[in-house]
Amino acid sequence: MIIKDSDFVFTPPPQLSWARRVLIKPCAGYPLPYPVTTSPKLLNTIIKGIRKVSNADILIADGTPSGESIYPIYQALGYNFHHVLMLDIRDSIFIEVQNPLPQFYAVESFWVPNVVLRSDFLISITPFKVCSSSGRFSVANLLSLLPVSKYQRSKSGGWGALYELGIEQVLA
């Protein structure tokens, strides 16, 4: 079922009430409106839902495939939320984390921003997309949390090294 952003209802899970820090990961890597990126209405609904059950710090973080600043894109998308910290993932400290799977598909470790590890909840919110006849959903949205500097293959940026390994295996 597809729901318009204005009709979306967010019911926070009960566990959210004990959170001290909630990280929201939108799809905001391009200055294009919803449904290409996450709607500011949708984000506002989620923020209000969190506020109903928790006084947690709310952070929104994303990055661009080019490695350039995300702040002009946040502004272009209308991401202006009261008492929400907007972060550019490229400004994070990245920590190498071992892949917890006993049999990993592509890589044995990932570089993850410390803000992810220091958050009690991570909410990934993205429009459903089809890229090269494959669906891209919430897990694929997390790619832009990874440092372009560690995974790019060309000067144009992006996560080329991960695509060379087979992006479906990386996402698994």
Chunk the chain into consecutive blocks of 10 residues (it has 172) and report each block's average pLDDT, rounded to whole numbers. 79 95 95 91 96 97 90 98 96 89 71 94 82 62 75 54 55 51
Beta strands in the chain (DSSP E): 21-26, 57-62, 85-88, 94-98, 109-113, 121-125, 129-131, 134-136
CB atoms near residue 118 (< 10 Å):
12
pLDDT of residue 131: 60
**CA separation for the pair 168, 46 (Å, rounded):** 29
pLDDT of residue 7: 87
Say if residues 22 and 121 touch (Cβ distance below 8 Å). Answer: yes
pLDDT of residue 129: 61
Beta strands 129-131 and 21-26, pairing class: unpaired
Cα–Cα distances in angstroms (integers) from residue 17 to residues 46, 63, 76, 81, 120, in the given order: 14, 28, 32, 20, 11
Is 7 strand, coil or helix? Answer: helix
Q: How many domains does the chain have?
A: 1
| pTM listed for this prediction | 0.83
Burial class of 4 by CB neighbour count within 10 A (0 to 12, 13 to 18, 19+): exposed
Residue 83 phi/psi, 5° resolution?
60, 40
* Residues sharing a CB contact under 8 Å with residue 12, sequence separation 6 or more, in sequence order: 49, 50, 52, 53, 54
Q: Structural domain of residue 108, as residue ranges?
A: 5-171
pLDDT of residue 54: 96
